[in-house]
Copies of this chain bind each other. A is one copy, B any other.
Amino acid sequence: MTQRPFPDARRPANAGPKAAARNRAALVSAAREIYTESGLETPLSAIARRAGVGQGVLYRHFPDRAALAVAVLEENVRQIERAAAVPGADIAGLLGVLTWHQAESTAFVGVLHADGGGSHFDPPAYALTLSQRVEQALRKHLPDGHRLAARPDDLMLAVGMVSGAVAGRTREQRESRALAAWRLLGVEVGPVRPFEE
């Protein structure tokens, strides 16, 4: 006895679980580009278009604007975590990757001084979680005797201070401010670059 195939048994080759992961990655990557160019208020339709997927696909992955924005931020954090997992990773190299993301994403900068930023109010829970993941990744490679190892709060205090100083309309201006801030703190930073496997 043969059943009529489910509709998805006839779906095109680009609709399987692998394609779903690819679509999700394309959406996160398109959102990152568009946020950098035009800010968080860009219509979701423009992001779907840039990713080359339909709006239905976008909504299946990201029910609302906030979910997509958090996914973009999480991808920043994941890159730092992956850099920290590489054998031979060191704190200067990790701070270089962190600085790259600080220059790249002003929203990520907001997460890193989420518990600051002059707010009267508690930062959103996702920002605290992401910020704690950044701390864990960095702290794994913080040697005794490092400038930021003397007191438990100093590491994320410094990250918040640098984030607070990141300014400028271009990536280059923001990178240059971040590096000036690290220098003023007396903290060595490796090459500023994204993590690449």
Which chain A residues have a beta carbon within 8 Å of chain B's beta carbons? 39, 106-107, 109-110, 113, 115-122, 153-154, 157-158, 160-169, 177, 180-181, 184-186
Question: Are B117 and A184 interface neighbours, CB within 8 A?
Answer: no
CB-CB < 8 A to A122: which residues of B?
Answer: 169
Copies of the chain in the assembly: 2
How far is A136 from B101 in the complex, measured between Cα atoms in Å?
33
Residue of B nearest to A176 (CB): B153
- Whether A165 contacts B169 by the Cβ 8 Å rule is no
In angstroms, Cα B106 to Cα A119, docked, is 7
Q: How many angstroms from the CA of A153 to the CA of B179 in the assembled complex? A: 13
Contact A113 B164 (CB under 8 A): yes
Q: Which residues of B contact A164 (CB under 8 A)?
A: 113, 116-117, 160-165
Asked whether, in the complex, the Cβ of B167 is within 8 Å of the Cβ of A160, the reply is: yes
CB contacts (< 8 Å) of A154 on chain B: these are 180, 184
Nearest CB of B to A137, in Å: 20
Q: Which residues of B lie under 8 Å from residue A39 when comparing CB positions?
A: 120
